[in-house]
Amino acid sequence: MSEVADMSNSSKQKLVSDMKVVVSDAEEILRATAGIAGEKMVDLRERIGERLQEAKLRIADAEAALVDRTKAAAHAADDYVNENPWQAVGIAAGVGLLLGLVIGRR
């Protein structure tokens, strides 16, 4: 379960990172076209600017939610280990044994 959550979190982090790159590229395009005149171009730049601002806010919200969920999962795991230390040791030993068997077969 934790591996699935880690993969999901890493996918979300990658998505947030990719979206930041897209927003940055779009802002660069807006700056590069700033000298181009024309009413349609001005309207287009304004609309794109507004949408970029909205996207930045959504990205920040998604990033904050991702960080909050990651911290909550880490706290839950920490609480579990503190409340059930021997079970945690047993689980860690079992995972280590399985990894050892898998690595040893190769």
Question: Which residues, 6 or more positions from 23, have their beta carbon under 8 angstroms from its beta carbon?
Answer: 52, 55, 56, 59
End-to-end Cα distance, the chain: 25
Q: What is the pLDDT of residue 1?
A: 44
Gap between the Cα atoms of 89 and 58, Å rounded:
40
Give, to the nearest 10 degrees, the angle between helix 85-105 and helix 39-83.
Answer: 110
Q: Are 44 and 8 in contact (CB under 8 A)?
A: no
Q: How confident is the model at residue 6 (pLDDT cuts 50, 70, 90)?
A: low
Q: How do residues 14-34 score in pLDDT, each as one tens digit?
A: 777 878 888 888 888 877 777
Q: What is the pLDDT of residue 94?
A: 92
Supply φ then ψ for residue 33, to 5 degrees: -95, 10
Q: How do residues 39-84 score in pLDDT, each as one tens digit?
A: 777 787 788 888 888 888 888 888 888 889 889 988 998 898 888 8
DSSP secondary structure letter of residue 33: T
